[in-house]
């Protein structure tokens, strides 16, 4: 099955280690949002920030601030979120964010 990329689809760079990015996102979640009590919660590519982890918009801002600190200018989180509709933000999965991060030029 072939899919046509949309404007917000990011193709990961060859060799981009999405498992490492997933680990980084998980670590950032635990580091900046310890009050959520995520210890023991499996964070997977299918985990949704709002529906599954009960994050609020301020939590997403805090998380992306930490990820921005870790990844620097190569990952433009404001542009990423600006490209999403409200329903896409509400349904945002860890995997979609991981794909975006892994797909940025190094």
What's the pLDDT tens digit per position in 79-97? 999 999 999 999 999 999 9
Residue 60's CB: how many other CB atoms inside 10 A?
19
pLDDT at 73 over 50: yes
**Dihedral angle at the C-alpha atoms of 45, 85, 56, 74, nearest 10 degrees?**
60
Average confidence (pLDDT) over 42-71:
92
Beta bridge partners of 93: 48
Q: What angle do CA 56, 90, 106 make, to 5 degrees?
A: 90
pLDDT greater than 50 at residue 3: no
Q: Which two tokens stand for residue 44?
A: 């997977």
What CA–CA distance (Å, rounded) separates 81 from 57?
Answer: 11
Number of Cβ within 10 Å of residue 44's Cβ equals: 12
């Amino acid at each position: 099955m072939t899919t046509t990329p949309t404007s917000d689809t990011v193709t990961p760079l060859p060799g981009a280690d999405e498992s490492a990015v997933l680990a980084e996102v998980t670590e950032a979640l635990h580091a900046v949002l310890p009050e959520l009590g995520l210890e023991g919660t499996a964070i997977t590519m299918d985990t949704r920030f709002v529906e599954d982890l009960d994050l609020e918009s301020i939590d997403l801002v805090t998380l992306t601030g930490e990820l921005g600190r870790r990844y620097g200018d190569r990952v433009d989180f404001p542009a990423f979120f600006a490209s999403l509709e409200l329903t896409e933000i509400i349904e945002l999965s860890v995997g979609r964010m991981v794909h975006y991060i892994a797909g940025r030029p190094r």
